[in-house]
Amino acid sequence: YSVWALPPPDFKHRLKSLMSSLRSEFAGPIFDPHITVVGDLPLRREDAVKPFTTRIADIAYGTFFYQCVYLLIDPSPEVVETSAHCCGHFGYNRSTPYMPHMSLIYGDLSEEKKERARTRAMEIDESICGLGFEVSLLALCKTDTRDRTTESWEIV
């Protein structure tokens, strides 16, 4: 399971369009736009915020399949505190510092392809960096990270 912060519907459409364009060039599975608040929670289904504003700081890429190319989210107090609250609520201890982000594509791309995808994302949506939006919905999601197709993932 994981907890996601979901963008508002009007911004979700814009993100899905950007993600689809990148997927058509660089492949990867389909998934809903989200900010991972808490990832890979070891929960059973039966165990299983008030709105805050966040801002996209940059487009970046990482070294993990699930952090291939992403929008780097400004780690504002509201974003960080929401993650800390959810970690505490579910008894989750992070092994790495929290880096708020919204993935654009998942995959095992070379550094060169990740940089091309990052650059392409900027070309597709030039004004996305610096954009702020309200998060008024969190979702608990069943996300088996062994399923790289994301087909088994579901919002519960």
CA pseudo-torsion sign 147, 151, 155, 156: negative
Catalytic residue, from 13, 85, 89, 101: name it: 101
Q: Is residue 101 within 8 Å of residue 35, measured between CB atoms?
A: yes
Task: Please say if 13 is a catalytic residue.
Answer: no
Q: Is residue 129 within 8 Å of residue 55, measured between CB atoms?
A: no
Task: Please say if 34 is a catalytic residue.
Answer: yes
Coil, helix or strand for 90? helix
Q: How far apart are CA 11 and CA 132, in angstroms?
A: 10
Can you name the residues that pair with 36 across neighbouring β-strands?
Answer: 4
Active site amino acids = 34, 101
